[in-house]
Structure 1
Amino acid sequence: MRRTISAKVSFLFICLASFSSAVQLVKGPTSQRVTQGQTVTLECSVSSIQAGESIVWKHVDLGEKFVSVNHLLYVTEPDLRRRYSVIWNNQKRDFHLKIVDLKAIDGGSYECGYTDSRQSFIRLAGATITVDVPMEGAPVCDAQPKTSQLGDTVTLKCSASGGVSAPTLIWESNGRELAKQIGTSFLTFDKQMRQSDVGASFMCRAISSLYPTGPFCTITPLPHPLSVTIRANAPFYKVGDNATFLCTEHSGAPNVEYAWPKVDIQILMSRRYLLKDNNRVLTIINLEAEHNNSILECQAKTADNRVSEGASMAIRILNQIVTTSTIQPTVLSPFKVEKNSLHPAVIVVFVLLVVAIVVILALVLIRYSRRKSQQSSLMKMGGK
């Protein structure tokens, strides 16, 4: 019996210890599509790191070996050590993996996680880097201005560099030819943005005898506007609850980052919040009464610095909701209550009052009947 109790206590202690030491992800990496030669940063911010735990990066496509442990690189190839680094902030618990001069070998899946005291790997988040390697002679697309609105005139630029000299450049959209020039390495096309151009992709092909179908590039000068909404995990909360809010962007833009520009200043100053999933998820800890009707606002931002309009939501705390009225309250008599204004307490008091009256009347009647009976018996005895 003692061994059984001891085993249970030990098991409970192990469970509690493992639970309390679990590293929490604050911000994880996002999947990115980049061109060879560019720079990419995979973010990993954590909290609750305990003694014996290390934050690690793993390049899944290159096997089980770690890329880094804490702020130290674990790759051994000279080229990787030259191009890889960890942006480290021990106070804020940031362990961001930075890769410069991207190459095809850098593509694939990456995982941010930690190793516990037993050196077991626990995955926290993952992301994929897709490295585009341009074909020889592939053109480059550009648009000026970088950001535009309906009605603006945008200049689409296509330049063919290297590989094939003086190809035929063609601008297309939805299979329709918009502009064409033979024997050139540079072609521009002015397009006024209309409703049908919202989210439309424009393609430039570089056709030559070597590439009859032509390598190509694409650009979307007027992407769909960013649109965000907030969803709460409950319609109402009580004082002491934790409230979680999810911000979601609906246009399908890649590599979106989230921010909460409007949160109650007391919540921020007292650090009563947690941010997860690239700031998409906001949790407010241990709600207080004064947080009722506090407004939250979230925004989304893309890699090309497009920012959405803010979406707002109020925190609703159930026991703080009070219905106000401009009508002056009326004092009602207990015996004359309006039909629509009966309160359950009034009903209970009224019923108890009626029951008490009935009981008192019954007792009076019983006592009266007994007294009459006694008087009648005495009279009969006196007559005898």
Structure 2
Amino acid sequence: MERVCKCLFVLVLLGLYLKVSDAINLVEGPDDATVSAGEAVILRCRIENIVSERIVWYHQDTNYYITIARTLNSVKDDKRWRYAVLGEDNENIYDLLITNANLNSDSGRYMCGYSIQPGNFVNLGSATLTVLAPSGDNSPICYVDYFTDRSPRTGDFVNLVCATTGGYPVPNITWYRNDENIGQAVGLRRNTQRWALRDGDLGTTFVCKTTNDAFGEIRECDVIPYPDVPDVTIRQMGGDAIGSDVEFVCGTNAMGSLRYRWTDINMNILLENRFHITDNNRVLTITELQIEDIDTFVECEIEYESFPLSQKGRLAIHLKRDDGTVIPQTDSSSLQNSAIVAIMAVVVIAILIGIAAYLLVRQPRRNNDQDGTPEPVKFTKIGETNTEDQALNDQETIKELDPNDEHDEELKTNLRLVDESNVEVHEEKQ
């Protein structure tokens, strides 16, 4: 009886051994891999003793079954073109090929296993894929957090913020004032340093540097937390003739986030809509330049976005040659001068006509007879008198004149001639 029991025990152990030896088994599984973005990678999965099991690749980070057997299960076109299962069924090779590796969609842990029925997954081997990528094109980003709406002053506290976007591994972030290290962050995507402004910080540039050993790159950005009043310069581009377009560019040496606006433009230009503003309000273009536009002003204001600290600049509009020199007004306004002269001539003529008309209206009318006929006009010869009394008066005047004075003597002669003429006229009348 004892021998029979031993024999049965041996047969059971043999059956269990044969069952285990025939079970599905992972011959070669995936290994951890690190690739740069854009490169290709193969994750191994080689299995033996497959009966009816379906080999499956599973991405743990996205909780997604990538393949079932050799069929891609992804509905994303991006992965359909970049993923593939290598090998033949009779070779029991199910290697996963990933091309043009992407940091955001491909990084993570991958599992190779099998499934007998839906929802039942058995993991045979796993590995982590690490995709290296530099930071985003606009990284790092620097800015200053102010805790007041007014412009900064000595003694104010501010936050210097430097942030990175995208990329792996995360770069080290360090703030510098001139060459002094004022704070570092390792393994973080943001480095915020609280800073008390002092007199020496006025106009000083603070620099943030990011370093990534995986790519050997250094990037940086900078801010001026305690800026001075911005300088404003306006440059005129073009405008060499009446009727041409002229462009005005508002510029400054100030750093940081700035906003621009044009605060003074000639009213005629505004009413006639002969302007447009571009390039974040930095550029003003006046179209179809006119005589009336010359010597008027344009004004630009530049202000910091973070606080109310601004400055304005003004520039007179001129005609300019191609070399940038100003065309003198005498050369550029002959048409204007001619028009002015013509207008003045018309005004003068109109004034003269008005004066003449006024004088004609003011001249007294001639007396009319009772019957309405005009009174005859009487003509008197020069020196003629109507009475003899006038002649006697002239004789008295001659006696009073000085005989030695040449002037008086000449006057006597003239009076005698007049008297003689009067006598002749009087005799004729009689």
* Same fold, judged at TM 0.5 (above): no
- The alignment's TM-score, normalised by the length of structure 2, stands at 0.31
Q: Which has the larger radius of gyration?
A: 2
Compare relative contact order (CA 8 Å, sep 6+) and give the higher one, 1 or 2. 1
- The alignment's TM-score, normalised by the length of structure 1, stands at 0.34
